[in-house]
Amino acid sequence: MFKPLEIFIGLRYTRAKRRNHFISFISFISIAGVALGVAALITVLSVMNGFVEEVRDRILGVASHMVVSSANDGLDEWRRLEPYLERYPQVKGMAPFVDGEGMLTAGAGVSGALIRGVSPELEPLVSSLDREMEIGALSDLKAGEFNIILGQELARRLGVRLGEKVTLVTPQASVTPIGVMPRLKRFTVVGVFEAGMHEYDSALALIHLEDGARLFLRPGQVSGVRLKLDDMFEAPYLTQLMVQDLPRGYVITDWTRQHVNFFRALKTEKIMMFIILSLIVAVAVFNIVSTLVMVVTDKEADIAILRTLGASPASIMCIFIVQGVVIGLFGTLLGLVGGIALASNVEVIVPAI
């Protein structure tokens, strides 16, 4: 009267009845094992994905999705690139920059730094530095006034505050009547930013684009043009298109190449965590197999009766397959719910622990 028979008997065996409480307890342990494995897999991978996304956003908040530069170490009249770049609707913003290295000194404090000349009006289109200012604003950088904005750690290392002076020493040398002298320039600190990445907070200083071009002996030139895309993951594809579209002599790089080793290491770590946690789920699956072996041993008399009534070996096998599938499904669903709940509240649970 019960159809299909295999499903009915398999579901009945999953429940506890009189003398088989131990078998049902083992089934419960198997379900719990699968649930814990799946919950751990979801939680850890969610945390890893969140970590990678947070790090990527912080890096690209200061860096850029794409950079167009010249093979001759200098870009003349960068606005000539605008007609070419505006053909791509994926490009949300563009801004020129001047890059150089130097040594900053203030009193007894000395530190090497990456000096970046930016346009205060265009820089917010390609980076989040305007939103990460702790003191001052990008608009405080004015051409000809030689103002400077320092990373938080860099300002602490130099021991300077708002309004104080720092001296920038550049590798370019000046020929004077007394010989070759390094180029020195005094700057006024007008702001401090915190990007959340030690690499930038401890080594990056911002000046005005025109001041940077004058300081690094690049009158009328920029180091390149930084681009921001509406989808950062299209950067490699757009790089290939732009290389074919732009005139010869331009070099295009994207964020996947600039930080390739770092992101490759994160990807490898995430894959290894997936494999390790999958082994936990595999152990739970072996528990299901051992449970089914014990159930078969316990149900030898029932199997003999079913065979006498005409049940085929395939039907008998399907009964225990149904029981194993039910245990696996229940465990997976419980693990799914538990993993999502744990991953959604991990910022509350971890401090509590």
Tell me: pLDDT of 16 over 80: no
Residue 91 lies in a domain: yes
Assign 147 a pLDDT band (cuts: 50, 70, 90). Answer: very high
The number of folded domains in the chain is: 2
Tell me: pLDDT of 171 over 90: no
Out of 4-13, 16-25, 218-227, 281-290, least confident range: 16-25
| In a shared domain, residues 245 and 280 | no
At 297, list the tokens: 């041993």
pLDDT value of position 104? 92
Residue with tokens 């395939």, as numbered in its chain: 314
| In a shared domain, residues 93 and 187 | yes
| In a shared domain, residues 100 and 118 | yes
Contacts of 113 (CB under 8 A, 6+ apart): 101, 102, 103, 104, 154, 168, 203, 204, 205
| In a shared domain, residues 303 and 246 | no
Residue 272 lies in a domain: yes
| In a shared domain, residues 204 and 315 | no
| In a shared domain, residues 87 and 200 | yes
Residue 153 lies in a domain: yes
Assign 174 a pLDDT band (cuts: 50, 70, 90). Answer: low
Interval 242-261 mean pLDDT:
83
Residue 286 lies in a domain: yes
Interval 102-115 mean pLDDT:
89
| In a shared domain, residues 42 and 74 | no
Q: Which of 210, 242, 258 is the last residue of a domain?
A: 258
Tell me: pLDDT of 317 over 70: yes
Tell me: pLDDT of 23 over 70: no
| In a shared domain, residues 145 and 252 | yes
Q: Which of 231, 258, 285 is the last residue of a domain?
A: 258
pLDDT value of position 245? 82
At 218, list the tokens: 């690049």
Angle at Cα 77 formed by Cα 144 and Cα 259, nearest 5°? 90
| In a shared domain, residues 161 and 49 | no
Assign 152 a pLDDT band (cuts: 50, 70, 90). Answer: very high
Query: Is residue 215 helix, strand or coil?
Result: helix
Full residue range of the structural domain in which residue 107 is found: 64-258
Contact call for residues 335 and 34 (beta carbons, < 8 A): yes
Residue with tokens 């305007």, as numbered in its chain: 130
Q: What is the pLDDT of residues 82-98, one digit of tens each?
A: 888 888 888 888 999 99
pLDDT value of position 141? 92
Assign 281 a pLDDT band (cuts: 50, 70, 90). Answer: confident
Assign 302 a pLDDT band (cuts: 50, 70, 90). Answer: confident
Query: Is residue 63 helix, strand or coil?
Result: coil
Tell me: pLDDT of 294 over 90: no
Residue 233 lies in a domain: yes
Distance CA 143, CA 210 (A): 6
Q: What are the start-end ranges of the H helices in the chain?
A: 5-14, 21-62, 82-85, 152-158, 198-201, 209-215, 235-245, 255-258, 260-298, 300-308, 313-344, 346-352
Residue type, 264: R
Paired residues of 187 in beta bridges: 166
Distance CA 349, CA 346 (A): 5
Interval 235-261 mean pLDDT:
84
Residue 59 lies in a domain: no
Residue 128 lies in a domain: yes
Q: Report the percent of the chain where pLDDT is more than 70.
A: 93
pLDDT value of position 150? 94
Q: What is the pTM of this model?
A: 0.70
Q: Which of 234, 258, 282 is the last residue of a domain?
A: 258
| In a shared domain, residues 49 and 74 | no
| In a shared domain, residues 180 and 303 | no
pLDDT value of position 153? 92
Half-sphere exposure of 286 (CA within 13 A, CB side): 6
Interval 29-58 mean pLDDT:
85
Interval 132-145 mean pLDDT:
90
Mean pLDDT score across all residues of the chain: 84
| In a shared domain, residues 96 and 42 | no
Q: What is the pLDDT of residues 54-82, one digit of tens each?
A: 877 777 778 888 898 887 777 887 888 88
Tell me: pLDDT of 131 over 90: no
Tell me: pLDDT of 191 over 60: yes
The long-range contacts involving 282-286, CB below 8 angstroms and separated by at least 24 positions, are 283/33, 283/37, 284/30, 284/33, 284/34, 284/36, 284/37, 284/331, 285/34, 285/328
Residue 179 lies in a domain: yes
